[in-house]
Amino acid sequence: MIVVGGCLGFIFLIWELRFAKNPFIPRVYLGDPTIYVALLMEFVWRLGLQIELEYLVTVLMVAFGESTLSAQRIAQLYNFLQSCTNIVVGIMLHFYPHPKVFVVAGSLLGVLGMGLLYKYRVVYDGISGLIGAEIVVGIAGGMMRFPMWTLVHTSTTHNEMATVTGLLMSVYQIGDAVGASIAGAIWTQRLAKELIQRLGSSLGMAIYKSPLNYLKKYPIGSEVRVQMIESYSKIQRLLIIVSISFAAFNAVLCFFLRGFTVNKKQSLSAEEREKEKLKIKQQSWLRRVIGY
């Protein structure tokens, strides 16, 4: 599915750039770094995040001994914290109208959060460390995503906002799908082998197929559960390493966004956008990179 989707996406871009008389994506926006960098950031961040979250509930129940309800609540921390942070950042933007500053801070905080998830990925480090890491990642997502959307909307006309917003939402979903696919590939290719190597062919394969059925039979502290924890922790380590890589790439991309200053207007006119671009070019390199 990834290959088919990638091929169709490439064909779509060729059609839009070369053959479409009335392109869905106005060609002028394809040359705007704020637009395509934001689309790429949306894809990369969601991809890396989904890799980390895809099997988190299972890992929490097997490796940390959490209940189903507790594991699901911890896994939903990202969405909750992102939503709360969105409100706070929205209020802050009213008084400090520089969205790129929040995007840069959120992107760097996202790398820190993923690093903390790597450190606290196993039961021996305690569940509180993992919860704290998820909170950091959630705050990072809230600081980054909607200020980035604000920059994109500032770069477009009012008539094209629906198109650009639709593209952002589409890329968001594509990133989730690709991330889930990559996580699934790593999980299926490595976990079964790890369990079989540690527990033998019969028991290892049985636990791989239905891990939750064996949690009561092999409580934390038993030899079999120790081997299960080691296996799941090793695979989670691989997943988080991949997530950190994408988070780091996302942090690099954020510096290429234009640091527009927002105002109370519904959208900027073409002349105002050109003035903003010229103003940005005249700034020092540090201000252009950070966006303040």
Report pLDDT digits (tens) over 209-255.
Answer: 898 888 888 888 889 998 998 999 899 999 999 999 999 999 999 88
* Residue 220 backbone phi and psi in degrees, to 5: -60, 130
User: What residues contact residue 223 under an 8 Å CB cut-off, 6+ apart?
Assistant: none
Asked if the model's pLDDT at residue 33 lies above 70, the reply is: yes
Q: What domains sit in the chain, N to C, each tagged with a CATH number?
A: 28-258 (1.20.1250.20)
* DSSP structural state of residue 216: T
Tell me the C-alpha to C-alpha distance, in Å, between residue 149 and each of 70, 119, 237, 254, 287: 32, 31, 31, 12, 20
Asked if the model's pLDDT at residue 30 lies above 70, the reply is: no
Asked if the model's pLDDT at residue 160 lies above 90, the reply is: no
Cα separation, 163 vs 24, whole angstroms: 8
pLDDT: which is higher, 129 or 158: 129
Please say whether the beta carbons of 75 and 127 come within 8 A.
no
Tell me the C-alpha to C-alpha distance, in Å, between residue 157 and each of 24, 27, 40, 104, 229: 14, 13, 20, 24, 53
Cα separation, 277 vs 255, whole angstroms: 15
Q: How confident is the model at residue 241, as a pLDDT?
A: 95
Band (166; pLDDT cuts 50, 70, 90): confident
Q: How confident is the model at residue 128, as a pLDDT?
A: 87
Asked if the model's pLDDT at residue 172 lies above 70, the reply is: yes
Helix segments in the chain, DSSP class H: 2-14, 27-30, 33-53, 56-63, 68-75, 77-95, 99-119, 127-154, 161-199, 201-209, 223-253, 270-281, 285-290
pLDDT tens by residue, 51-104: 999 999 999 999 888 889 999 999 999 999 999 999 999 889 888 888 888 999
Closest CA to 97 of 265, 269, 275, 279: 265
pTM, 2 dp:
0.83
Burial class (CB in 10 A: 0-12, 13-18, 19+), 114: buried
Angle at 160 between CA 145 and CA 276, to 5 degrees: 70
CA atoms within 13 A on the CB side of 105: 15
